[in-house]
């Protein structure tokens, strides 16, 4: 059979595919953009492998659609079970390529299994940032009914140069912990079964080439359970390449595929970049252009104050107004009323589902509070948790069948609550009615949408129901911003981000923890969607006491907010916080539109991040431990024009202890003039000896 070679080109990326009509499809090149006129057949020939002794006579190549045929022992991309005879096990498939369409940066490939009457269509499209978007569609034009046990979203033969793997694990208040490992012979196969991606970030991956530093990032854009696999060809059955597969997991994976029907998977994305900073920039460009709803129309990201850490459930109209007045004096721009405003919600064991303003807390309704917030120059936001219901609630007493449950069995709770069945139209209709009513009755600019419980028992179509409710509310109230929270970072992905305006990376506001959490999330997500708040001291989760200067500087790198009571701060702390809020407002245009760079440092306890945009740059450099040396290595910057000159300053206030070790403070206030080459090669010597020290570095490119 004749093989045809086609190429897809981005700005800096080329993919070369080998397509064999009546046979298979394979990815034979994935790398930097090739010159025009490159002989694609020669590209394939240069990496072809000869047969060795322990292979089948015709060595199998899993390619873009791995199957359990021809001797390949990895996981098939499509797993079908005969609905009429499920005990017979997996139905063996034999998909053959029947068609393909190619346009600029966009290819659709179709396979068909004639004996089963099953078809599969895969589409890859190169998007903004040279990010490749992948989808897969399975159809049944035969006569049998199948259960689709596994359906791929992304199948990617991994170029052999990528032998390192960075994965992300975590827990509540400790999300996105990076682990780098070699590509192990036994592969990699995480999955979630909690009804959401979970705290571990298992549907975010980074592969790397340890010889050159090149990286490949991949992600399943889905807010429910996932299944990710890397099968390594350890026995040399194929050509030695590993295969990455990303798919919807859990209950949602066992769909029934009837004759005449078809099923679509979620989207997945992958991107290639020369280093981790470039990968972040590519994914941020894609998110801003293709994922975030109407991102180009967003205004400045307003500074929040959330009432939770200040007041908890101790709510009253007078207390909230006093908190709002304190917030306004700091320069806060949005006041968010958290949990406890509805029904009989005086603790976390009651009233979820009863989305009516509590007359006990607000005898005059929300109107007076909202009016005072507006008088103070802020807009108003509200916390909700629509997908949940408390057993002690009017909603549950009226509709006990609306929750996820198995009839006749116990209904175990988590955090004293049950999950509503979002696949049911009547549930979504009720929730839309209540939320729509709140938004029509009150001037609410922002919803903090929480999801604090794992889904057990799980149910298919739960995620689609969540999406449908979000989309209906956004259509009815397009100017209302929505934050997605799930006990912090339990449900963060491009699927939910295509429907909301920001996410809550972690319930842990401890600034030292956030110096790990925010850099990990910002590998994939731009800073403007990552809620980053100044928490109280001592921190309610870690118990750690941190100076306001340190907490405020760390919180600037994200969508800044405050989750603490200003009345409990000293005058100096309020002054320091207000100064940093003013700095954030001055620099948020750079932070939220620019290119993010990771700053490496020889001290592993120093974290550095830097954003460049239109001739300006702002960097954060933070030390979390007591340095073993007095004179820490200079901080080398990134992303600058080596030939350009920059005015460099250290925005005040400076860290109280460290500022005493700064050489020539007045010169720093006036600004140093240095070339981009000097800043990136030699760097800046800053006092980074003491723990909990953070510096801001501001740069402005000077005219030539």
Q: What integer pLDDT is reported at residue 564 of this predicted model? A: 98
Report the SS3 class of residue 593. Answer: coil
User: What would the CATH number be for the domain defined by 598-701?
Assistant: 2.60.40.1180
Residue pair 388/426 in contact by the 8 Å Cβ criterion: no
Position 236 confidence tier, pLDDT thresholds 50, 70, 90: low
- For residue 576, give every residue at least 6 positions away whose Cβ sits within 8 Å of its Cβ, in sequence order, or none: 548, 549, 552, 653
Q: What integer pLDDT is reported at residue 233 of this predicted model? A: 80
Using CA atoms, how far apart are residues 514 and 62, in angstroms rounded to an integer? 41
> Does 242 sit behind a cis peptide bond, omega within 30 degrees of 0 on the bond before it?
no
Two structure tokens written together for 453: 């419980």
- Of 125-129, 229-233, 374-378, 532-536, the one with minimum mean pLDDT is 229-233
Position 609 confidence tier, pLDDT thresholds 50, 70, 90: very high
Among residues 607, 617, 638, 632, the alpha carbon closest in space to that of 685 is found at 632
- Does the pLDDT value for residue 560 go beyond 90? yes
**Rounded average pLDDT over 412-423:** 97
- Does the pLDDT value for residue 200 go beyond 70? yes
Q: What integer pLDDT is reported at residue 591 of this predicted model? A: 98
Digit-coded pLDDT (tens) for 150-172: 888 999 999 999 999 999 999 99
Digit-coded pLDDT (tens) for 276-320: 999 999 999 999 999 999 999 999 999 999 999 999 999 999 999
Two structure tokens written together for 35: 């010159």
**Rounded average pLDDT over 427-444:** 98
Position 137 confidence tier, pLDDT thresholds 50, 70, 90: very high
Catalytic residue, chosen from 450, 493, 510, 549, is 450
Using CA atoms, how far apart are residues 560 and 617, in angstroms rounded to an integer? 18
Instruction: Identify the DSSP state of 489.
Output: B
Position 88 confidence tier, pLDDT thresholds 50, 70, 90: confident
- Does the pLDDT value for residue 634 go beyond 70? yes
Position 363 confidence tier, pLDDT thresholds 50, 70, 90: very high
Matching residue, tokens 């956030």: 514
Two structure tokens written together for 277: 């900073």
Q: What integer pLDDT is reported at residue 458 of this predicted model? A: 83
Strands 418-419 and 388-389: antiparallel
CATH homologous superfamily of domain 303-387+429-454+480-591? Aldolase class I (3.20.20.70)
Two structure tokens written together for 253: 């994976």
Quick one: what percent of the chain has pLDDT higher than 70?
99
Q: What integer pLDDT is reported at residue 547 of this predicted model? A: 98
Digit-coded pLDDT (tens) for 475-508: 999 999 999 999 999 999 999 999 999 999 999 9
Report the SS3 class of residue 631. Answer: coil
**Rounded average pLDDT over 509-516:** 98
Catalytic residue, chosen from 130, 354, 421, 507, is 507
Two structure tokens written together for 147: 């259960």
Helices (H), ranges, 532-658: 548-556, 571-591
Could you confirm whether 507 is annotated as catalytic? Answer: yes
- Does the pLDDT value for residue 371 go beyond 80? yes
Report the SS3 class of residue 422. Answer: coil
- Does the pLDDT value for residue 56 go beyond 70? yes
First vs last C-alpha separation in the chain: 61
Among residues 273, 338, 256, 261, the alpha carbon closest in space to that of 12 is found at 273
Q: Between residues 236 and 597, which one has the greater pLDDT?
A: 597
- Does the pLDDT value for residue 121 go beyond 90? yes
Name the average pLDDT for the chain: 95
Q: What integer pLDDT is reported at residue 534 of this predicted model? A: 98
CA distances from 593 to 281, 298, 460, 576, 583 (A): 11, 11, 38, 26, 16
Using CA atoms, how far apart are residues 141 and 138, in angstroms rounded to an integer? 10
Residue pair 245/203 in contact by the 8 Å Cβ criterion: no
- Kindly report the backbone phi and psi dihedral angles of residue 250, in degrees, each rounded to the nearest multiple of 5, phi listed first: 65, -155
Domain assignments of the chain as residue spans, ordered by start? 63-291, 303-387+429-454+480-591, 598-701
Two structure tokens written together for 423: 């696949």
Rounded to the nearest angstrom, the gap between the alpha carbon of residue 615 and the centroid of all alpha carbons in its chain is 28
Digit-coded pLDDT (tens) for 2-53: 899 999 999 999 999 999 999 999 999 999 999 999 999 999 999 888 787 7
Q: What integer pLDDT is reported at residue 238 of this predicted model? A: 64
Q: What integer pLDDT is reported at residue 255 of this predicted model? A: 86
CATH pick for 63-291 out of 2.40.30.10, 2.40.50.140, 2.70.98.60, 2.60.40.60: 2.70.98.60
Among residues 80, 43, 78, 41, the alpha carbon closest in space to that of 62 is found at 78
Position 85 confidence tier, pLDDT thresholds 50, 70, 90: confident
Q: What integer pLDDT is reported at residue 237 of this predicted model? A: 62
- Of 127-136, 226-235, 553-562, the one with minimum mean pLDDT is 226-235
């Amino acid at each position: 059979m004749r093989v045809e070679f086609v190429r897809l080109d981005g700005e800096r990326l080329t993919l070369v595919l080998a397509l064999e009509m009546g046979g298979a499809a394979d990815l034979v090149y994935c790398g930097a953009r090739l010159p025009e006129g490159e002989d694609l057949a020669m590209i394939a020939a240069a990496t072809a492998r000869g047969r060795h002794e322990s292979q089948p006579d015709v060595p199998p190549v899993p390619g873009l659609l791995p199957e359990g045929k021809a001797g390949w022992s990895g996981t098939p991309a499509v797993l079908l079970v005969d609905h009429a005879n499920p005990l017979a096990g997996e139905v063996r498939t034999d998909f053959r390529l029947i068609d393909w369409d190619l346009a600029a940066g966009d290819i659709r490939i179709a396979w068909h299994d004639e004996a089963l009457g099953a078809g599969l269509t895969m589409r890859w499209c190169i998007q903004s940032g040279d990010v490749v978007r992948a989808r897969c569609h399975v159809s049944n034009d035969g006569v049998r009914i199948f259960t689709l046990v596994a359906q791929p979203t992304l199948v990617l033969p991994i170029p052999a140069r990528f032998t390192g793997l960075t994965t992300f694990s975590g827990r509540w208040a400790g999300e996105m912990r990076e682990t780098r490992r070699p590509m192990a012979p036994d592969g990699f196969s995480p999955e979630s079964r909690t009804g959401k991606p979970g705290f571990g970030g298992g549907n975010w991956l980074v592969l790397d080439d340890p010889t050159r530093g090149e990286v490949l990032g991949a992600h399943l854009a889905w807010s429910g359970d996932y299944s990710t696999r890397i099968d390594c060809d350890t026995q040399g059955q194929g050509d030695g390449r590993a295969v990455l597969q990303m798919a919807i997991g859990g209950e949602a994976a066992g769909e029934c595929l009837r004759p005449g029907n078809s099923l679509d998977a979620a989207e997945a994305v992958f991107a290639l970049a020369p280093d981790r900073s470039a990968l972040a920039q590519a994914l941020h460009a894609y998110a801003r252009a293709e994922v975030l709803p109407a991102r180009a129309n967003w205004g400045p990201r307003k500074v929040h104050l959330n009432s939770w850490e200040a007041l908890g459930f101790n709510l009253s109209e007078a207390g909230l107004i006093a908190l709002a007045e304190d917030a306004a004096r700091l320069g806060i721009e949005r006041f968010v009323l958290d949990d406890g405003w509805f029904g009989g919600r005086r603790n976390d064991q009651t009233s979820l589902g009863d989305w009516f303003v509590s007359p006990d807390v607000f005898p005059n309704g929300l109107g007076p509070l909202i009016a005072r917030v507006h008088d103070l120059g802020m807009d108003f936001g509200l916390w909700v948790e629509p997908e949940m219901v408390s057993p002690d609630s009017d909603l549950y007493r009226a509709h006990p069948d609306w929750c996820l449950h198995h009839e006749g069995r116990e209904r175990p709770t988590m955090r004293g609550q049950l999950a509503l069945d979002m696949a049911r139209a009547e549930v979504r209709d009720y929730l839309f009615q209540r939320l729509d009513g709140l938004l029509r009755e009150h001037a609410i600019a922002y919803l903090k949408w929480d999801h604090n419980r794992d889904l057990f028992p799980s149910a298919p179509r739960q995620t689609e129901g969540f999406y449908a409710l979000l989309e209906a509310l956004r259509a009815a109230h397009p100017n209302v911003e929505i934050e997605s929270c799930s006990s912090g970072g339990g449900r963060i992905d491009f699927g939910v981000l295509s429907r909301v305006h920001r996410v809550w990376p972690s319930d842990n506001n401890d600034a030292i923890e956030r110096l790990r959490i925010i850099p990990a999330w910002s590998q994939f997500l731009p800073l403007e969607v990552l809620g980053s708040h100044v928490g109280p001291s001592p921190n309610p989760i870690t118990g750690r006491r941190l100076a306001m200067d340190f907490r405020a500087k760390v919180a600037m790198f994200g969508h800044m907010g405050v989750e603490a009571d200003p009345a409990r701060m000293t005058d100096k702390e309020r002054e320091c916080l207000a100064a940093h809020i003013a700095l954030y407002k001055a620099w948020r245009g750079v932070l939220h539109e620019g290119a993010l760079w990771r700053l490496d440092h020889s001290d592993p306890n120093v974290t550095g991040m830097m954003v460049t945009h239109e001739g300006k740059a702002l960097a954060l450099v933070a030390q979390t431990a007591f340095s073993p040396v007095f004179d820490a290595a200079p901080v080398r910057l990134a992303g600058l024009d080596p030939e350009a000159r920059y005015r460099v300053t250290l925005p005040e206030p400076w860290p109280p202890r460290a500022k005493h070790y700064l050489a020539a403070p007045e010169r720093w206030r006036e600004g140093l003039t240095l070339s981009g080459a000097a800043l990136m090669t030699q760097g800046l010597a800053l006092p980074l000896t003491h723990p909990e020290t953070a510096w801001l570095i501001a740069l402005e490119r000077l005219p030539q």
